């Protein structure tokens, strides 16, 4: 499988990012030798997905420190995208080192990446056990899921968050089917999730976002599972726009709706989803995505990149530490009070 993020070399090296805007047609890498190139790669979604953004920013700090501009690098990278809290979490973690030594910062960036890898597997174990128990299924039965956007290998340092249960079930020899919402307007589900799951030999059914209701009504999946960009203290969750619609449908059809995220995605300083900043992106993503004009020239557009799923629509949040269920502020705070360092 293609590696979304790689640090090439030692402290004099550079950050190599897979340009995800070109997938699945073209495999192209961006070699980042200055902080601004990292900033642009995050901004234009060449690297995307909350954990991957955090990891990339941490590596960007190595370049900043090397040029004696660590504080400037941290301040600049903080402005790249507003919603995924993993970005700020990773930059705060670098700042907390209180050093400008590029080697020490590179070690920390590697640690952030390695920990994310471990957290993904842990999330997968907890998620698979939860799904089997919620659906009262024998552990060797087929696993049938629906997901939105891409919270997979391409979005993390490991096997993904929302996709982790599917990868682990596949490793165990189980039959796995994942319905992937195409995810308007930038098609992360079609271009990225369908791509990486197919690469892993997992049976993928790509659907238009609007077809999710029909999939759920037909009883074709056991659970819906998505990633998160930021989880507020009360469990309200920001994720790719369209997630709340899927959660509402899952509630309507009596299907468990699960959010899978590492502890770096929680923001206890944000009380509820209403306080989470939602990125608004260019109108052209909607009116002429991928180069074809599909709307009248003067139409006004609203293009939020994320939405908020209220905690009461979430059956459970699965983290690297276990399961939060039911989802409430007390349960979230309790869960994170344990030592979350792997
Ligand atoms: O705009 P994107 O592609 O960065 O949005 C990504 C998502 O919404 C993911 O679901 C989320 O970041 C979790 S990734 C493990």
Domain that holds residue 76: 5-100
* Closest among 22, 40, 21, 26 to 79, alpha carbons compared: 40
Atom of ligand 1 nearest to the CA of 261: 15
Tens of pLDDT along 248-271? 999 999 999 999 999 999 999 999
159 alpha carbon to ligand 1 midpoint, in Å? 14
- Residue 229 known to be catalytic: yes
How many structural domains does the chain have?
2
Q: First and final CA of the chain: distance in angstroms? A: 25
Cα of 153 vs centre of ligand 1, distance in Å, is: 11
**Residue 228 in contact with ligand 1 by CB distance below 6 A:** yes
Is the CB of 48 inside a 6 Å radius of any atom of ligand 1?
A: yes
pLDDT of residue 338: 60
Answer whether residue 128 is part of any domain. Answer: no
315 and 166 in one domain?
yes
Q: Is 300 annotated as a binding residue?
A: no
ipTM of the complex as predicted: 0.99
Dihedral of CA atoms 27, 48, 197, 244 in degrees, nearest 10, equals -150
Catalytic position from the list 229, 236, 307, 320: 229
The verdict on 158 and 251 lying in the same domain is yes
Would 230 be classed as within a structural domain?
Answer: yes
81 is in an annotated binding site: yes
Residues 142 and 54 in one domain: no
**Cβ of 307 below 6 Å from ligand 1:** no
305 lines ligand 1 (CB under 6 A): yes
CA pair distance 142, 121, nearest whole angstrom = 19
Distance 143 CA to ligand 1 centre (A): 23
Is 239 known to sit in a ligand binding site? yes
**299-305 mean pLDDT:** 98
Q: What percent of the chain has a predicted confidence (pLDDT) above 70?
A: 98
Question: For residue 76, what is the enclosing H or E element?
Answer: helix 70-77
- Asked if residue 162 lies in contact with residue 147, where contact means CB atoms within 8 angstroms, the answer is yes
- Tokens 């930059």 sit on residue: 91
H helices of 96-230, in order, are: 102-134, 164-171, 188, 194-199, 212-217
Residue nearest to atom 15 of ligand 1 (CA): 151
Q: Across the chain, what does the average pLDDT equal?
A: 96
Do residues 247 and 147 lie in contact, with contact meaning Cβ atoms separated by under 8 Å? no
Residues constituting the chain: 342
Give a yes or no: residue 56 inside a domain.
yes
112-126, 130-144, 256-270: least confidently modelled range: 130-144
Helix%, strand%, coil% for the chain, nearest 5: 45, 15, 40
Same domain, 35 and 180: no
pLDDT digits (tens, 9 = 90+) for 16-32: 999 999 999 999 999 99
Q: Is the CB of 145 under 6 A from ligand 1?
A: no
Contact 274, 308 (CB under 8 A): yes
**pLDDT tens digits, 183-238:** 999 999 999 999 999 999 999 999 999 999 999 999 999 999 999 999 999 999 99
Identify the weakest region by mean pLDDT among 126-140, 198-212, 299-313.
126-140
In the predicted model, is pLDDT for residue 339 greater than 70? Answer: no
In the predicted model, what is the mean pLDDT of residues 289-317?
97
Q: Which atom of ligand 1 is nearest to the CA of 192?
A: 3
Task: Indicate if ligand 1 lies below 6 Å from the C-beta of 231.
Answer: no
Task: Indicate if the pLDDT at residue 342 is higher than 90.
Answer: no
The pLDDT of residue 6 is: 98
pLDDT confidence of residue 141:
83
Residue 52 · residue 154 · CB < 8 Å: yes
Confidence of residue 340 (pLDDT cuts 50, 70, 90): very low
Q: In this structure, what CATH number is given to the domain that contains residue 43?
A: 1.20.120.420
- Mean pLDDT on 159-180: 97
Q: Is residue 126 in a domain?
A: no
pTM for the whole thing? Answer: 0.97
Those residues whose C-beta lies under 8 Å from the C-beta of residue 71, and which sit 6 or more positions away, are none
Same domain, 189 and 322: yes
Q: Which of 267, 258, 305, 22 is nearest to 163 (CA)?
A: 258
Q: In what order do the strands lie in the sheet with 14-18?
A: 5-8, 14-18, 29-32
User: Can you tell me the mean pLDDT for 71-94?
Assistant: 98
Structure-token match 């909607």, residue found: 286
Shared domain check, 293 and 185:
yes
Q: Which of 80, 56, 237, 232 is nearest to 155 (CA)?
A: 56
| Boundary-marking domain end, from 75, 100, 125 | 100
Per-residue pLDDT at 1: 79
Kindly state whether residue 293 falls inside one of the protein's structural domains.
yes
| pLDDT-based confidence at residue 135 (cuts at 50, 70, 90) | confident
Buried-exposed string 93-128: b where 16+ CB fall within 10 A, e elsewhere: bbeeeeeeebebbbebbbebbebbbebbebbbebbb
């Amino acid at each position: 499988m293609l590696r979304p993020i790689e640090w090439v070399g030692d402290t004099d090296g550079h950050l190599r990012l897979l340009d995800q805007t070109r997938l699945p047609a073209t495999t192209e890498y961006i070699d980042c030798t200055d902080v601004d190139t990292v900033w642009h790669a995050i901004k234009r979604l060449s690297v995307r997905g909350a954990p991957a953004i955090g990891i990339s920013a941490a590596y960007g700090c190595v370049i900043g420190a090397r040029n004696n501009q660590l504080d400037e690098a941290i301040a600049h990278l903080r402005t790249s995208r507003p919603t995924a809290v993993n970005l700020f979490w990773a930059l705060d973690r670098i700042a907390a080192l209180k050093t400008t030594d590029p080697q020490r910062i590179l070690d920390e960036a590697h640690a952030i990446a390695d920990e994310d890898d471990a957290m993904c597997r842990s999330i997968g174990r907890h998620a698979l056990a939860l799904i089997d128990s919620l659906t009262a299924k024998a552990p060797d039965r087929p696993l049938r899921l629906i997901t939105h956007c891409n919270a997979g290998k391409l979005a993390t340092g490991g096997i993904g968050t929302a996709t982790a249960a599917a990868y682990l079930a596949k490793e165990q020899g189980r039959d796995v089917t994942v319905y992937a919402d195409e995810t308007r307007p930038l098609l992360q589900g079609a271009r990225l999730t369908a791509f990486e799951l197919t690469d892993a030999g997992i049976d993928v059914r790509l659907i238009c976002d609007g077809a999710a209701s029909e999939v759920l009504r037909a009883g074709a999946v056991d659970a819906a599972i998505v990633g998160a960009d930021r989880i507020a203290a009360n469990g309200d969750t920001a994720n790719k726009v369209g997630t709340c619609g899927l959660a509402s449908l899952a509630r309507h059809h009596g299907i468990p709706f699960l959010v899978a995220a590492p502890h770096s995605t929680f923001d206890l300083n944000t009380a509820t989803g209403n306080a989470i900043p939602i990125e608004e992106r260019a109108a052209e993503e909607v009116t002429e995505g991928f180069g074809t004009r599909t709307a009248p020239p003067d139409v006004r557009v609203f293009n939020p990149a994320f939405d908020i799923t209220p905690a009461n629509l979430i059956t459970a949040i699965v983290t690297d530490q276990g399961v939060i269920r039911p989802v409430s502020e007390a349960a979230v705070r309790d869960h994170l009070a344990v030592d979350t360092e792997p």
